[in-house]
């Protein structure tokens, strides 16, 4: 994410095929801290509220449309810092202890992944952020 001179915050995607940078406007938010992550084949904005009591996860439903960002979940700050999602919809969370847990926002159940504590690296990727529309015509941003 990058803050523009006019105060807007944008995500700057890069198209490898065309070697072109784009711009996705992030909706304004009232928060203490924010980051982006890949979330169930979409882009999500994770915002910590000003009181630092919870994390809101907002998902962009229509690629590149600023009004399509929708709040999906709120997680209490006691759960930890959300930093990724799994194919089954569970959210990866780092606890303050450094342990990683998988959190199911629908059931509010979490399970310890029993991985060794930091330092380690987890990488998330999406093969393509371009969505398809109108009978196979690819949208390019």
Beta bridge partners of 81: 94
Q: Give the tens place of pLDDT for each residue, 24-38.
A: 888 887 777 888 888
Per-residue pLDDT of the chain (141 residues; tens, 9 = 90+): 666 667 677 888 877 778 888 888 888 877 778 888 888 778 888 888 877 788 888 999 888 788 889 998 888 877 788 888 888 888 888 887 778 889 998 888 888 888 776 665 666 555 555 543 444 444 444
3-state secondary structure the chain: CEECCCCCEEECCEECCCCEECCEEECCCCCCEEEEEEECCEEEEEEECCCCCEEEEEEECCCCCHHHEEEEEEEECCCCEEEEECCCCCEEEECCCCCEEEEECCCCEEEECCCCCCCCCCCCCCCCCCCEECCCEECCC
On whether the CB atoms of residues 87 and 70 are closer than 8 A, the answer is no
What's the pLDDT at 97?
79
What's the pLDDT at 55?
87
Q: Give the tens place of pLDDT for each residue, 79-92.
A: 788 888 888 888 88
Residue closest to 129 by CA, chosen among 65, 42, 60, 58:
42
Token pair belonging to 87: 């194919």
What's the pLDDT at 132?
39
């Amino acid at each position: 994410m990058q803050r523009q001179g006019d105060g807007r915050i944008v995500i700057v995607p890069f198209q490898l095929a065309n070697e072109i940078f784009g711009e996705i406007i992030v909706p304004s938010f009232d928060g203490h801290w924010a980051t982006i992550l890949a979330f169930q084949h979409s882009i999500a904005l994770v915002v910590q509220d000003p009181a630092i009591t919870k994390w809101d996860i907002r998902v962009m439903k229509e690629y590149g449309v600023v009004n399509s960002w929708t709040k999906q979940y709120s997680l209490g700050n006691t759960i930890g810092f959300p930093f990724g999602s799994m194919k089954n919809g569970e959210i990866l969370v780092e606890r303050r202890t450094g342990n990683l847990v998988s959190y199911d926002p629908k059931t509010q159940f979490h399970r310890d992944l029993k991985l060794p504590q930091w330092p380690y690296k987890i990488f998330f990727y999406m093969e393509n952020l371009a969505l398809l529309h109108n009978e196979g015509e690819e949208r390019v941003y």
